[in-house]
Structure formats: C-alpha cells, structure tokens
C-alpha cells in the first residue's frame, strides 16, 4: 500500500475538520459583530434590547456552540476525527435549527414585504451567511449519535421560549413592536402554530440529513478495512480508535463498536478478543489522558 493511500481510522476525511473550522470561525465572528453592534451603536442606552431580536439570539446560540467546537476542529486537523459529545451535538443542533428558522423566515416571509430588511448589508450576514455557515459546520462534524424525535423537540426549546417572550411583549404587554408581523396579517393564534410546524419540519430535515450522513460515514469506515493491512497495523488502528474515543467522549458514553470489530475480524481473520483488547486498552489510555488534561485545566 502506498503512503498516500494509507489512512488511519482517526484521520478519515480530514478535510471535514478544515471546512468545519472555517465555518465555525465565520459563525463566531459575525455573531460577535452583531452583539457588539447592538450594544455599542443601535441600542447603546438599552443594550439588553439587542436580544429582543430572534436573529441575534439564534446567532448568539450558534456562536457559543461554534466557539466550543473550534478546539475539536483543530484537533481534527491534527489527524484526529472531528467528533464531539452528545450534549454538544444537541446544543449545535438547536443552534442550527434556530438559525435555519431565521433563514427560512427571511426567504419566505420577510423578503416578501421588506427585501431590504431581509437582505440589506447589515442583515445579510446574520440572515444568510451565518445560517449557511452553521449548517455547513453541523454536517461536517461527526457525533457518532443518531438524532431522534425527542432530540428534535429538545432542539426547539430556545425557539419556543422566545415565542412566549415575544407574544408576552407584543400581544399582552404591548412593549414591543410586532417586528416579525406574527400578529399583523393573521392573528397570532394562527401564525404561531404554523411557525411551530415549520420549525419541527426544519428540525426533521436537519435530523434526516444528519442521520443519513452518519450511516454513510459508518459504511465508509468499514470500506477502509477492506484494504490490505498487516495484523499489527490493524491492531494499532483499533487501539488508536479506542484512544480517541476515550480522550474525547464521556466515560459513560464510550462503547466498543462490535459491528466494526466483527467486520475486521472476519476480513482479516483476527480474533475478536484481540481486537477488543486493543480497543479497550486505547480507551483506557485515552480516558487517563483526558483526566490529566482536565486536572491541568482546573
């Protein structure tokens, strides 16, 4: 096997890490700019008013998620898989859902009655660039966890909370203008259920694509093992995969990928016990190093 063809399990499709890193940096930059602009210029006397806009709130959420993903993306570029824990997946999923709601609302509604408000220079980045960057980063990151219907409902929580705050201030208290026209053209009790249905539909689409990509990458992973590798190299690969799982996943979330190990065992005629030992040893070493890193940070 040539050197260029040689691939480590923990180095699959490294380009995803590079694209995700760029997308995360773009997201953090423009979401930060929006907050700074609101604090210092638009609402300098009432800075908290910056967060009455769902666009700012959703981009702040994704900016926070992207900021946490950046170290994982950098590690991914350093010949590791770009993978993160389940709780971070849910946070990233929620932020992606919220910014995609913003993008959809802008395209199908706001642009209809005010194109400048939808795609003006100041709004273009938050309404279009950031949502697209977040979608890219979300689909580039590997989570190893399939998303469920329950996850979609959890991801909708920030949007649902904002909708109640919006209705309280617009309909009940009258302290906000109806910025999103949710009680202008039709009553809010008609527009809001439609918005919830749209949000769940967007969440379903994102979940579907994510799960399809997860299955595709699992198949891709197995194909790698059909290359002609010697038994020692295979055990090293299995150890490396276990080490990376132990280093970057929570202890309770780490599990032995028996389906992959069984495929390797059948293909290369290596005992499952030997492969499991190599993987487990890698996990233990990864957990130890992870604990050391956490101790240093604290």
Q: Give the sign of the dihedral formed by CA 135, CA 137, CA 139, CA 145.
A: negative
Q: pLDDT band at 119, cuts 50/70/90?
A: low
Residue 203 has a pLDDT of 94
Q: Indicate whether 6 pLDDT > 50.
A: no
Q: pLDDT band at 150, cuts 50/70/90?
A: very high
Q: Indicate whether 219 pLDDT > 60.
A: yes
Residue 216 has a pLDDT of 82
Name the range with the highest mean pLDDT among 39-53, 59-73, 195-209.
195-209
Which one, of 89, 62, 20, lies nearest residue 253 by Cα? 89
Which one, of 53, 64, 54, lies nearest residue 31 by Cα? 64
Instruction: Give the span between the Cα atoms of 57 and 258, in whole angstroms.
Output: 42
Residue 181 has a pLDDT of 79
Cα–Cα separations (whole angstroms), residue 266 to 129, 142, 169, 260: 47, 26, 63, 10
Q: Which two tokens stand for residue 106?
A: 């802008």
Residue range 210-217: mean pLDDT, rounded: 86
Residue 37 has a pLDDT of 66
What tens digit of pLDDT does each residue of 164-199 get?
A: 999 999 888 888 888 777 887 788 889 889 999 999
Q: Indicate whether 281 pLDDT > 70.
A: yes
Residue range 71-91: mean pLDDT, rounded: 76
Entry field: residues in the chain: 298
Q: Indicate whether 21 pLDDT > 90.
A: no
Residue 14 has a pLDDT of 64
Q: pLDDT band at 286, cuts 50/70/90?
A: confident
Q: Indicate whether 243 pLDDT > 80.
A: yes
19-28, 93-102, 113-122, 195-204: lowest mean pLDDT where?
113-122
Is 218 buried (19+), middle (13-18) or exposed (0-12) by CB count in 10 A?
Answer: middle
Q: pLDDT band at 129, cuts 50/70/90?
A: confident
Which one, of 154, 111, 132, 123, lies nearest residue 54 by Cα? 123
Residue range 263-285: mean pLDDT, rounded: 85
With beta carbons less than 8 A apart as the criterion, state whether 127 and 105 touch.
no
Residue 236 has a pLDDT of 79
- Other CB atoms within a 10 A radius of the CB of residue 44 amount to 9
Higher-pLDDT residue of 171, 208: 208
Q: Indicate whether 116 pLDDT > 70.
A: no
- Other CB atoms within a 10 A radius of the CB of residue 293 amount to 11
Residue 105 has a pLDDT of 80
Which one, of 193, 180, 177, 207, lies nearest residue 55 by Cα? 180
Q: Indicate whether 103 pLDDT > 80.
A: yes
With beta carbons less than 8 A apart as the criterion, state whether 24 and 150 touch.
no
Q: What is the DSSP letter of 271?
A: -
With beta carbons less than 8 A apart as the criterion, state whether 83 and 244 touch.
yes
Q: pLDDT band at 41, cuts 50/70/90?
A: low
Q: Which two tokens stand for residue 111?
A: 């642009």
Q: Indicate whether 149 pLDDT > 80.
A: yes
Residue 1 has a pLDDT of 37
As a whole number, the mean pLDDT across the chain is 79
Higher-pLDDT residue of 15, 79: 15
**What are the start-end ranges of the H helices in 111-148?**
111-113, 115-119, 121-124, 130-140
With beta carbons less than 8 A apart as the criterion, state whether 20 and 136 touch.
yes
Q: Which two tokens stand for residue 274?
A: 């030997």
């Amino acid at each position: 096997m040539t050197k260029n063809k040689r691939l480590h399990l923990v180095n699959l499709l490294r380009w995803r890490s590079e694209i995700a890193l760029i997308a995360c940096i773009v997201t953090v930059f423009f979401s930060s700019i929006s907050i700074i602009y609101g604090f210092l210029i638009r609402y300098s006397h009432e800075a908290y008013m910056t967060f009455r806009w769902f666009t700012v709130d959703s981009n702040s959420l994704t900016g926070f998620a992207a900021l946490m993903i950046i170290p994982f993306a950098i590690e991914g570029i350093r010949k590791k898989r770009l993978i993160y824990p389940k709780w971070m997946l849910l946070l990233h999923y929620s932020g992606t859902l919220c910014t995609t709601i913003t993008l959809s609302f802008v395209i199908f509604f706001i642009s209809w009655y005010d194109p400048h408000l939808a795609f003006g220079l100041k709004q273009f980045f938050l309404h279009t660039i950031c949502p697209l960057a977040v979608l890219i980063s979300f689909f580039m990151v590997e989570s190893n966890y399939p998303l469920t219907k329950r996850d979609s409902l959890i991801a909708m929580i920030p949007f649902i909370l904002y909708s109640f705050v919006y209705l309280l201030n617009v309909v009940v208290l009258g302290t906000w203008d109806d910025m999103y026209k949710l009680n202008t053209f039709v009553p809010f009790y008609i527009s809001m259920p439609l918005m919830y249905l749209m949000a769940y539909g967007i969440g379903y689409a994102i979940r579907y694509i994510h799960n399809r990509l997860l299955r595709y990458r699992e198949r891709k992973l197995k194909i790698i093992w059909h290359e002609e590798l010697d038994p020692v190299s295979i055990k090293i690969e299995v150890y490396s995969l276990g080490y990376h799982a132990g280093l970057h996943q929570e202890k309770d979330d780490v599990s032995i990928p028996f389906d992959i190990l069984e495929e390797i065992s059948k293909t290369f005629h290596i005992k499952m016990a030997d492969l499991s030992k190599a993987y487990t040893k890698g996990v233990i070493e990864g957990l130890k190093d992870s604990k050391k890193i956490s101790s240093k940070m604290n």
